[in-house]
Structure 1
Amino acid sequence: MFWGRKKQADHEYILVLDIGTSFVKAVVCFIEDNQAHIVSHRRCKQTANSMRGGMIVNLPEVVKACRTAIDLATQDLDTEVTSAVLGINGQLIESVTTTVHYDRAHSNHPLEHSELKNIIYKIQQRSSEKLRSSLSEKFLEDHPDIELIHASVVDVQMDGYVVENPIGFQGKRLSLTIFNAYVPTVYMGILQNLAQELNLNILAVAAQPYGLSKLFVNNDLRSDNPEGIFIDIGGGTTDLVVLKNGGMEGIQSFALGGDAFTRNLKKVLGGSLEKAEKIKIDYANDLLDKRSTKKISESLMADARIWLSGVEIALKEFHELKILPSKIYLTGGSAPLPELRRVLLTKDWSKQLPFSKKPYPYVIKVDEVSEIVNESKTELCPSDIPSLGLTKLNLNLTSEDDVVTNTLQNIIKSMQE
């Protein structure tokens, strides 16, 4: 156990370490009244070639960047923060959504909890087998072993009718859909080595895109069923999450992010990468003289069209969905760039996708993220929002009455013991 500053001696601090391709972000928080109170948040730029496709490829350099970010975030504390949630890139995640249709022998009897446990257990077994089979085809004999890091309930139906809690319902067929996210076991080993070097105790390893699904969820669960496509434009990658009825349908990623916009802007304008990055951010925040923005806009629009093709390809991977949500939520450091909204508002790209109506993009603002209290000395900015999603994973955002989710989590714990 670890303790905070003397004036907050009753609080237990948690470190959220968001390990991105371009930056490591460290958030120190404590939980009170089921809200995340942020004490400090700092970042450190990754050295060149220390990360590739969201994966650590130079552990010593990443350890240095993490240690710098942690030291900056904890410099005003009088104690060491040792318990951490590690956030990893969506490109490392293998996910699978599994549906089981269970025909009950005694349809006139109310469903009991033991039946529900049996069905969920079968789904978790089938999910693992399904993904391992897929990886065997993809990698032939050298497919990576995998570990489960996240599971969530997508849909529950009794005889075709959606129900929140099937316990006590009569019916013939119970249909249950569960989303599972896995990470290669070898990468879990790398993360454990990283934690050991940093003297950290891993509370959880979380897929950064999963945190996006919690951005709008409140303590009273008023917003517990959000729908939409959440897109995080990171430095080196873009992650997409599809949510329907509050459940995750899947995660997709592609290797193009804000750094590509910065590099091409440097070619057009000259100067250093640091100068191009500052110009990009100032342009996104409408801080530049309008007369000087034409060349910037043209460069960014060309990159935005390429980025849009990646979004289209990624969404086509959700081929099992009959309808895609029309709301598109943008987050990440490059999300405010107006060119991204402009290309998403064009018609052609979405014609081959199952949207029921024209997709509409919306940039998430920091103050729209619920249950976050910023007590640090620095303001939060759009690039911090994905880290806030990871921070919210420390909250209990599952209702005590959510029998299916709570049963799923208990089964996962028993399977991992």
Structure 2
Amino acid sequence: MEHNLAVGLDIGTTKIVAMIGRENEYGKVEILGIGKSKSLGVHRGVVNNITQTIQSIQQAVQEAEVAADMKIIGVTVGIAGQHIRSLQHSDYITRSNSETVIDDNDIDRLINQVHKLVMLPGEEIIHVLPQEYKVDGQAEIKEPIGMYGGRLEANFHVVVGQVSSIRNIGRCVQSAGLNLEGITLEPLASANAVLSQEEKEAGVALIDIGGGTTDLAIFRDGIIRHTAVIPFGGNVITEDIKEGCSIIEKQAELLKIKFGSAWPGENKDNEIVSIPGLRGREPKEITLKNLSKIIHARVVEIVEQVYVEIKNYGHEEQKKKLIAGIVLTGGGSQLKHLKQLVEYITGMDTRIGYPNEHLAGDSDEDITSPLYATAVGLVLDGLKRQERKKVEEQQNEAEEQEKQEEIKEKPVKERRSFLDKLTERVKDFLDNAE
């Protein structure tokens, strides 16, 4: 695949999206093709039917290939799901020689140490995200590289998930005939696609309401501070409408999208929708007031759970306040009056997030829908990863040349992220598992 091309594969509970994007000369991303299929083998963000998931992936990928008129080889895939949890951890290393400055190797050593944390059986560390560093007890250091010091410590935000779930996703991608190029945490991907740098600095909570899960990512001072996955999303709303109105799922979903509202006050008592009966039965009449009451009850529950997580992060402390408030994205964010309801429950400023932050200006309106936030984020992630590969290749070439002739300048070496290592481990596992 060309260097400036990447494919994001968002394996969701309701839909699977394959998106092909490339970076244009202005550093913006053009979406060349997009394919989506109904996701049948995924429940609450976790694969529970491998065969069906493989078929859905293939269908989405084929559609994207036709649209872009190219063959897809490698993909960057997102992981979410109810098994994801996060914790705070601090750790330190003592440097053998405090006369030398702190460099990448010290930080790698510190991060690798966090990797040895003992997790619950079957859990794997997915991300280790340094929050801030201390050097010899001096706190609040953002970048310790180049400083002198004997003791280097840091607070970390550690995200863990189930090994088996991650491997199953790898397995589906591989069996669908694709290369697994990278794994990313979905809330991070959506955040990349939707949030501006200013918002991340000021403090913001991104809430991605998907079909099966609601993902949360909190940023402050430009650093990710908290992540959580809440194990329900838009599907439980549809489920409730189905039960509450005794209709089939397809009708419930349509009702939700067409007439649904998160705010029950606005419907008059006499507004009624008539739904055709099954197989010659009488049509059903449903009042919009009832419909929005059902939706309201569920949405309040989801928003309150998210708000508990925001409070856990410490939003109520002055120095942790999220000045930019809340950004809602994902398919579930399209529900009428949701913004008002979220503002009412949390008292925080809220906007709907469209993934157009890094997209080329002339992008199709469909693509900039909140539905595609995660997919766009995965494409961005894939492009970044290729950029890093390119830098590494250049370094290797530079090192080769250096052996022949001394070169003064080297490209800056980027630290390999945790996810790159995780991706490799999953790949190795899959290769040896056959």
The bucket for the TM-score relative to the shorter chain is 0.7 to 0.9
Number of aligned positions between the proteins: 377
Q: Structure 2 stretches of 5 or more lacking a match?
A: 272-287, 392-410, 426-434
Equivalent residue number for residue 431 of structure 2: none
Deviations 1:224-249 (A, max 9, x none): 63521111111111111121222222
CA-to-aligned-CA distance 1:221-274 (integer Å, 9 cap, x gap): 666635211111111111111212222223212222111112222344554422
Any stretches of 5+ residues in structure 1 without a counterpart? 4-10, 136-142, 351-357
Aligned residue in 2 for 1:128: 115
- SS class of match (2:133): strand
Given candidates 264, 267, 272, the residue that maps to 2:240 is: 264
Using the alignment, how far apart are the partners of 2:198 and 2:376 within structure 1? 19
Pairs within 5 Å for 1:65-144: 65-100=56-91, 112-114=101-103, 117-125=105-113, 127-130=114-117, 132-133=118-119, 135=120, 143-144=121-122
What TM-score does the superposition give when structure 1 sets the normalisation length?
0.75
Aligned 8 A contact 2:174 2:180 in 1: no
Amino acid at match of 1:128: H
- The corresponding residue for 2:342 is 344
**CA distance in 1 between partners of 2:71 and 2:297 (Å):** 47
Is 2:322 the partner of 1:331? no
Larger mean CA deviation between 18-27 and 376-385 belongs to 376-385
- Shift in alpha-carbon separation, 1:13–1:23, aligned structure 2, 3 A: same
Determine the C-alpha separation between the residues in 1 that align with 2:420 and 2:336.
42
Paired letter, 1:361: T
1:122-168, CA deviations, whole angstroms, 9 ceiling, x for partnerless residues? 2432x2333x24x1xxxxxxx1052x443433223555454443334
Cα 1:184–1:360 change in 2 (3 A) is same
Cα pair distance change 1:41/1:284, threshold 3 Å: farther
Rounded Cα–Cα distance in structure 2 between residues aligned with 1:405 and 1:233 = 36
Cα drift, residue 93 of structure 1: 2.7
C-alpha contact (below 8 Å) 2:343/2:349 kept by paired residues: yes
SS in 1 for 2:257: helix
The one-letter amino acid paired with 1:58 is: N
CA distance 1:85–1:416, shift in 2 (3 Å): closer
How far does residue 324 in structure 1 lie from its aligned partner after superposition?
5.1
1:44 and 2:37 equivalent? yes
Sort the Cα spacing of 1:160 and 1:321 in 2 relative to 1 into closer, same or farther, 3 A: farther
Q: Percent identity?
A: 20
Counterpart for residue 20 of structure 1:
12
TM-score, normalised relative to structure 2: 0.73
Contact 2:83/2:161 (<8 A) preserved:
yes
**Helix, strand or coil at the partner of 2:201:** coil
Shifted more, 199-208 versus 255-264: the winner is: 255-264
Amino acid in structure 2 at the alignment position of 1:76: A
1:8 corresponds in structure 2 to none
Instruction: Tell whether the 8 Å contact from 1:15 to 1:27 is kept in structure 2 after alignment.
Output: yes
Residue 187, structure 1, aligned to residue 165, structure 2: yes
Q: Which whole-Å CA distance do the structure 1 matches of 2:198 and 2:343 have between them?
A: 29
Give the stretch that moved more between structures: 176-185 or 201-210: 176-185
Equivalent position SS for 1:39 = strand
Alpha-carbon deviations, 1:75-120, whole Å to 9, x = none? Answer: 134432111011122423343433335677988x6x6134x63244
Contact 2:78 2:184 in 1 (8 A): yes
The 5 A counterparts of 1:13-412 are 13-33=5-25, 34-47=27-40, 50-100=41-91, 112-114=101-103, 117-125=105-113, 127-130=114-117, 132-133=118-119, 135=120, 143-146=121-124, 148-158=125-135, 160=138, 162-169=140-147, 174-216=152-194, 225=201, 227-269=203-245, 271-283=247-259, 291=268, 292=271, 293-315=288-310, 317-318=312-313, 323=320, 325=322, 327-338=325-336, 340-346=338-344, 358-367=347-356, 369-372=357-360, 378-396=366-384, 406-407=414-415, 409=417
Moved more, 225-234 or 277-286: 277-286
User: RMSD of aligned C-alpha atoms?
Assistant: 3.9
Farther-moved stretch of structure 1 (321-330 vs 378-387): 321-330
**Using a 3 Å threshold, how does the CA distance of structure 1 residues 328 and 378 change in structure 2: closer, same or farther?**
closer
Q: Alpha-carbon deviations, 1:36-86, whole Å to 9, x = none?
A: 221122221122xx2233211110011111111111111134432111011
